Amino acid sequence: MRGADPPAARGAGVNSSIKLVLATRNAGKIAELRRILADASITAEILGLEEFPEIGDVAETGLTFAENALLKAGAVAEQSGLPAIADDSGLCVDALNGMPGIFSARWAGRHGDDRANLELLLAQVSDVPEEHRGAHFACAAALALPSGEQRIIEGTLNGVIIDAPRGANGFGYDPIFVPEGESRTAAELSAQEKNAISHRGRAFRALAPVIAELLG
């Protein structure tokens, strides 16, 4: 850990006077973090990157989810002058030695082409027997202060890969991933059901007491 707490954090409770920047332009992700912090009795104001148009995309040059999350959180904290939270996540398939991992969003070559990514992954595991189709979603959530202090928390959701997509909810690899203890894919769960068990939800919930510790 480096540096002292920023002035806004010294001696202050975590309340609406504390502002946090979540390094995303995804309104759903911002709403999710707001709910999680509210459930933890943390009433900090959450801002998204839409409110900071001067902050560009941060290159994800790390070799792990944690490294990428810390890169994003650190850059946004430095540029905004506010505590920042960032996450990085993806699907890790046992039969592919943990890939696509940090390359999940661009596994087929073009970033964010969910259909192509999903079809390529299914082709790659098409000959893998059911008992060896274990996989997990992983998420690293980072908190960075303008002082340079940083914390990282990781969350996972275990499950298996199935042969063909099912379900119209969710995104990415959700239609071919069945969470542990479920018969439905992640894309067949409601948003509330998925948020309750998701790797990102778990990471954000585990980060909540860290936020309270550093900013309280």
Q: How far apart are CA 12 and CA 10, in angstroms?
A: 5
Q: What is the pLDDT, as a whole number, of residue 216?
A: 74
Average pLDDT over residues 139-157: 97
The response to whether 57 counts as a known ligand-binding position is: no
Q: Is 24 annotated to bind ligand?
A: yes
Is 75 annotated as ligand-binding? no
Highest CATH level, class, for 19-215: alpha beta
Could you identify the residue written with the tokens 């996540």?
89
Distances from the Cα of 171 to the Cα of 81, 117, 166, 174, angstroms: 33, 11, 11, 6
User: Is the distance from CB of 184 to CB of 191 less than 8 angstroms?
Assistant: no
Domain boundaries, the chain: 19-215
Cβ distance 170 to 194 under 8 Å? yes
Listed in sequence order, the DSSP H helices in the chain are: 27-39, 65-80, 114-124, 191-197, 199-215
Q: In the structure, what pLDDT confidence band is assigned to residue 17 with cuts at 50, 70 and 90?
A: low
Of the ranges 26-35, 37-46, 72-81, the best mean pLDDT one: 72-81
d(C-alpha 207, C-alpha 68), whole Å = 16
Q: Catalytic: 88?
A: yes
pLDDT of residue 206: 96
Does 38 have pLDDT greater than 60? yes
Per annotation, catalytic residue among 39, 57, 88, 163: 88
**What does the pLDDT average to over 204-209?**
95
